[in-house]
Amino acid sequence: MRFVFVFALLFVGCLSSPEWWEDATFYQIYPRSFVDSDGDGVGDLKGISSKLEYLKEIGVTATWLSPIFKSPMADFGYDVSNFFEIDPIFGTMADFDELIEKSKEVGVKIILDFVPNHSSDECEYFEKSVESDPEYKDFYVWHPGKLIDGIRHPPSNWVSVFGGSTWTWNEKRQEYYLHQFLAKQPDFNFRNPKVRENFKAILKFWLDKGVYGFRIDAVPHIFEKLNEDGSWPDEPRNDWNNDPQSYDYLDHIYTKDQHETLDVMYEWRAFMDSYKNDNGGETRVILAEAYSPIEILDQYFSNSTHSGSQIPFNFGLMSLSGYSTAKDVENSVTYWMDVMWKKHKVANWVLGNHDNPRIYDRFGAHKIDVVNILLSSLPGTTVTYYGEELGMHNVKTECTEVSCDDRDGERTPMQWNDKLSGGFSTNPNPWLPLADDYKVNNVKNQRKTARSSFNIYKSLQKLKRTEAFKNFKDDSSWAYGALTEQIFHVKRSSSKDGYLILINMGDKIETYNFPENFFKPGIKDLEYHVVTERSSHYSGEKFQITNKLHLLPFEAVVMKWETPVV
């Protein structure tokens, strides 16, 4: 009996160690731009399959793929026309199955993008809804509009995210339909239980195929406020914007973060958890894209009785820039930690995606490693957009027949080597041009270069798997903060050893004397472990803690200590 009891205790002990997603490294792939396997100039699933070992090499736990579903590509796959099919441009279902198969062999989990807010107007559901097919009649949000002095007006003053009214008149059905994004992206009606069931069927379909979770697109936009009489309330004006076509013209109190959105989020989580219970295996995760205040993200995570998204993306660090000081970083980190860590012991750090300019462009070339090191040093989950491990930069793109999107600049092909089209494709004209520096700045070169962004990134992912980093559920195992206006530090430790990460955010040399109690008693020196390109130190070099510390402009270092045995 006692034996069993001890065993049970051990088991409970194991449960408190982090789950796979809690300190995972997620890597976002924009499939059009990763690898093109058949030379048509557009990236595809076979291409991704061929690079899973690469992801493993740099220490990625899971990769989330921007949409690969059947789509007319009015918004590059964020306009899905069939949620159960792969778009031929990316390959076939067999290619997808192969990708999953291979991902299991290699040990990199696959996460899919899930776009529940809307479909394409070319989706069969929408076509049937237009025809008032009884099954699909209320799948979308329809309204006949308001008659004022005999003239028909849209049901409300709402403006879409991409500009212009959210309401588009449909001749056939003789009603307006709602779209928070493009007119080609009609919003689903999530008040219809059939829609909710349909989405669970979609989740199940892909879970059955072997995906480990979903990144849910545009979460805050899922519900809009509906008056009891079936009308839609006008939103108030923002007095600082005078363009009625602009999204910022209105204060989005009725079209963002409505309470019902939480219900669906909790419903999806319950579904994922029950799926896990029925099918065994590891936790399936929900990554939620919500540009919302922390109080709302807190609720997307859970309320006191229900759980939601494990990883509501933390976009806080994205609002920093090249001018941000260590104090700014500290404030941004604390904004999250004060609420989300204190309440739930979770954290995630995002610094880029397909909707925002790259780190190079937001922070400056010299800050790529600084920012990547910061992202991976903090306790919790790291989220990296493809190519950021190389420090790829935005490209000024011209409108082409294929694409004319102001976000194209951060979606250019991955730079694998110095060959034709950077090894992305055998096609000399990929769907977007490569950055002009690809002959120098590519995976092949950076792999060989000691302090390259690639190798620094890789070292940090390795560190994330050490005991000192793995120990993060214990609050006393880490610390962070600004030591001076410009030096940001993170400390991570286990009982055996620990790491001190020091980052100079500024463009001047910084010096610092460690106060007496900064290290545990008995620690006398540290060893440089990772250093950035222009550092004057080398890995293996010792540092006496009583010495003055010097950091060059934008220098970041990781130093290691061994805890003395007492």
Residues 74-133 that bind Ca ion (CB under 5 A): 117
What whole-number distance in Å separates Cα of residue 24 and Cα of residue 18?
Answer: 10
Nearer to ligand NAG, 126 or 554 (CB): 126
DSSP element (H, E) containing 82: strand 82-86
Query: What does the alpha-carbon distance between residue 222 and residue 157 come to, in Å, rounded to a whole number?
Result: 18
Structure tokens at 551: 């950091």
Is residue 263 a contact point for Ca ion (CB under 5 A)? no
The span from the CA of 12 to the CA of 8, in Å, is: 6
List 187, 224, 289, 389, catalytic entry: 289
Strand partners, 177: 142, 168
Nearer to ligand NAG, 211 or 218 (CB): 218
Do 152 and 145 form a contact (C-beta atoms < 8 A)?
A: yes
Active site residue 243: no
Catalytically annotated residue among 22, 87, 217, 257:
217
User: Is 289 among the catalytic positions?
Assistant: yes
- Tell me which of 24, 28, 29, 44 binds Ca ion, using CB under 5 A: 44
Among Ca ion, ligand NAG, none, residue 115 binds (CB under 5-8 Å by kind) = ligand NAG
- Shorter beta-carbon distance to ligand NAG: residue 359 or 443: 359
Q: Which does 429 bind (CB under 5 to 8 A by kind): Ca ion, ligand NAG, none?
A: none
- Does residue 510 touch Ca ion according to CB under 5 A? no
Least Å from the CB of residue 78 to ligand NAG = 3
Contact segment (CB under 5 A) with Ca ion among 6-14, 128-136, 221-229, 485-493 equals 221-229
Residue 235, binding choice from Ca ion, ligand NAG, none, Cβ under 5 to 8 Å by partner class: none
The CB-of-115 to ligand NAG minimum distance in angstroms stands at 6
CB 482 within 8 A of CB 510: no
Between 182 and 347, name the residue whose CB sits nearer to ligand NAG: 182
CA distance 555 to 176: 56
Measured distance CA(360)–CA(372) in Å, rounded: 11
- How many Å apart are CA 306 and CA 219, to the nearest integer? 17
How far apart are the C-alpha atoms of 523 and 540, rounded to whole Å? Answer: 17
Contact residue for Ca ion among 87, 113, 187, 289 (CB under 5 A): 187
- Say which residue the tokens 């899919």 belong to: 112
Binds 36, which of ligand NAG, Ca ion, none (CB < 5 to 8 A, cut-off by type)? Answer: Ca ion
- Contacted entry of ligand NAG, Ca ion, none for residue 42, CB cut-off 5 to 8 Å set by kind: Ca ion
- For ligand NAG, which is the closer residue by CB, 23 or 289? 289
The C-alpha atoms of residue 297 and residue 301 are separated, in whole angstroms, by 6
Q: Among Ca ion, ligand NAG, none, what binds residue 288 when CB lies within 5 to 8 Å by partner kind? A: none
| Per CB under 5 A, 40 contacts Ca ion | yes
Collect all residues with Cβ–Cβ distance below 8 Å to 458 and sequence separation of at least 6. 57, 58, 59, 389
By the criterion CB under 6 A, which residues form the site for ligand NAG?
75, 78, 115, 181, 217-218, 262-263, 266, 303-306, 355
Question: Which pair of structure tokens corresponds to residue 435?
Answer: 């950055």
Output the furthest CA–CA distance in the chain (Å, rounded). 88
In whole angstroms, the minimum distance from the beta carbon of 269 to Ca ion comes to 19
Taking the CB of residue 1, how many other CB atoms lie within 10 A of it?
Answer: 5
Kindly state the smallest distance separating residue 405's Cβ from ligand NAG, in Å. Answer: 9
The total number of residues shown for the chain amounts to 566
Binding footprint of Ca ion on the chain (CB under 5 A): 36, 38, 40, 42, 44, 117, 187, 221
Q: Which residues are catalytic?
A: 217, 289
